[in-house]
Amino acid sequence: MARTDPRRRRSRRRVLAWVAGVLVLALAGGGVAAYETGRLDQWLGDDVAPIVAPVPGFTAPTAPTPRPVARPAQSGRPSAVAVRRGLAAALVDPHLADLRAVVAPLHGRPVLDLGHGSSTPASTLKLLTSAAALEALGPDHTFATRVVKDGRKRIVLVGGGDPFLASKQPADGPARHDASLQTLARLTARELRARGDRSVRLAYDASLFTGPRVDPHWPKTYIPDVVTPITALWADQGSDPDGEGRVPDPPATAAQLFATYLEKEGVKVEPKIVPTKAPGGTREIARVTSRPVSDIVERVLQVSDNEAAEVLAHQVGLAVEGDGSFDGGVRGVTKVLSGLGIDLRDARIQDGSGLSRHDRLDADTLVQVLQLASSPDHPELRSVITGLPVAAYDGSLGYRFDDSPGRGLVRAKTGTLTGTSALAGITTDARGRVLVFAFVSNHVKYAETLDTRAALDRLASALATCRC
């Protein structure tokens, strides 16, 4: 028998391998096409035969319900006797002057109600402002700082009441929420260059907020050491770009910073920058947008931000009363919370931050707001709870509750003015029940301020360890 040439055998194998590969690819492609077009279902039918035929008469046992990873929180109303017993030792602290104390379950009437009447709430008042802002504006609402065209050669920087408008873009580069004058200048310059404008006149509009920039119920010493004059346009909350302290005219300083950034982007700005009110219907050139209200609320509560709280109150006044002023903000916050069922009959609110010593609030009102924000019926208010600082961990509680059983278990808003110390928040007791509380101590001696604050921390920690 003649022997086949080895080279011809190798060539034949290569051809067969090539043909087999083509067939595999064709079948795979056809299968994918059949799957995507639905033909595969038609070929196979809706009822695919089981891999193993069931055994006649056999019934599989029902799978057991898995146990939860954590035990569910205790239901039912905590014992008023147990709460009072758990707080007994902490309540006799002599530094708790004129104490108003309210403790309640997550939903329902208080189980402890000590003291009487309204008190100066200090910064715990920010709970009311925050809840009203979330309800009136919505947690996803944002504020825009814009640049509009006003005539052939003039542009106007328009403040939108962004409490956290920054001067510079974040150091780590563009961010999701980069609301800065530097970024706004870059966007504006790009648009101007595209239209052939290399030189402009600049004006600024801070007219969104009206009335005085300083609450008349604040001590005069608050400006500029404690708080910035409240306006709809500023950068870095009116802090001085050349050093410490605050600037006397935040809108003018913001406009000057914006002009500086425009110059760096190659757009010449005429030296005279003036205030104005942008006419309606003008064409927008560029804008930057704030963080959502939910994020702003969390920041306000975390660090007890006075300026941002006042801006939120002004925005509520605009939305509800058409009045972006201190007075409009108070009326707006009051109307929104009253509409939510919060009892404000004995309240006297003068601002949005709690800086006024003329503010008066019942501790039970603070508990009502916290209960409302915890309710599944009001998910839009949840940032009031998530924004509360955690004991010994962050925000205004980051340096408190050291070596305390309340570490990590208490979340609360702080409040401190000369003569006043307050704490309002939530905790989980030793049985897993969530408790809501408000402790307000007025007429505190200045020398005993830190002692009173520590006494309030012990009260909250006693709740966290209570078997209520």
The residues that are catalytic are: 123, 126, 304
In 322-448, alpha helices (H):
326-339, 363-374, 383-386
- Rounded Cα distance between 373 and 424, Å, is 13
In what order do the strands lie in the sheet containing 112-114? 112-114, 99-105, 434-442, 420-428, 410-417
Tokens of 73: 């929180």
- Rounded Cα distance between 340 and 348, Å, is 18
Tell me which H or E stretch contains 13: helix 6-37
Whether 438 contacts 102, CB under 8 Å? yes
- Residue in 322, 336, 188, 212 with CA at minimum distance from that of residue 263: 188
Q: Kindly state the DSSP code that residue 166 receives in the 8-state scheme.
A: B
Whether 413 contacts 373, CB under 8 Å? no
**Inter-CA distances, 127 with 361, 424, 425, Å:** 12, 9, 10
Cα angle 143, 149, 155 (rounded to 5 degrees) comes to 85
Whether 166 contacts 181, CB under 8 Å? yes
Tell me which H or E stretch contains 311: helix 306-321
Terminal Cα-to-Cα distance of the chain (whole angstroms): 101
Residue 103 burial (10 A CB sphere; 0-12, 13-18, 19+): buried
Three-state DSSP class for residue 262: helix
Whether 145 contacts 160, CB under 8 Å? yes
Q: Looking at this protein, which amino acid is placed at residue 28?
A: A
- Rounded Cα distance between 391 and 398, Å, is 6
Beta bridge partners of 246: 239
Whether 202 contacts 150, CB under 8 Å? no
